[in-house]
Amino acid sequence: MQTINLTSIKKEFTVEASQQTAFEVFTRKIDLWWPRTHHIGSAELTEMVVEPHVDGRWYSKHADGSEANVGYVMTYQPYDLLVLAWQIDGDFKCNPNLITEVVTEFIPEGPTTTRVKFEHKDLHKLGNGKVVESMDQGWGEIMNLYKQFADQ
């Protein structure tokens, strides 16, 4: 069995939305497209939140009233760039001492078309093996859901 050693996950695609809409759907409307199956909470996911400012929290809310931290906002530049700190380790637990970066650029290609460049960097910090391999597929699914919602 071959082990894939990814250091980053990259996704690039075009959405049929203005740069402003693409950015706001990614940030302020993340709860509308984030899959309910992808969370680290101990109960059903009820809401995914990215607070729209530098040092804002990135977290999930759950049916039992609990919250689970995913990370925080490192860079918030409407409508060009969002950098999020991902603080979930290879065991899918929040680790406040860990930071890998989720960088998303929104590049206008026209009044109603935006190129989205997504990269989850520094994956070597999570260790090797199945976790990182499954993250590539997971981010692919998540970005596809975002694209479907942004294209509406």
Sketch the domain layout of the chain as residue ranges: 9-150
pLDDT digits (tens, 9 = 90+) for 54-78: 999 999 999 999 999 999 999 999 9
What is the reported pLDDT for 134?
A: 85
| C-alpha dihedral, 9 to 14 to 18 to 20, nearest 10° | 0
Q: Residue 128: pLDDT above 80?
A: no
pLDDT at 3: 44
Q: Any idea which architecture 9-150 has in CATH? A: 2-Layer Sandwich (3.30)
For residue 2, pLDDT beyond 50: no
pLDDT of residue 129: 56
Question: Is residue 1 predicted with pLDDT exceeding 60?
Answer: no
Dist CA 77 CA 23 (whole Å): 9
Q: What percent of the chain has pLDDT over 70?
A: 95
Q: Which long-range contacts link 28-31 to residues 24+ away (Cβ below 8 Å)?
A: 28/52, 29/149
Confidence of residue 92 (pLDDT cuts 50, 70, 90): confident
Condensed to tens digits (0 to 9), the pLDDT of residues 101-112 reads 999 999 999 999
Please identify which residue in the block is written with the tokens 């990269």.
119
pTM attached to this predicted model: 0.93
Arithmetic mean of pLDDT over the chain:
93
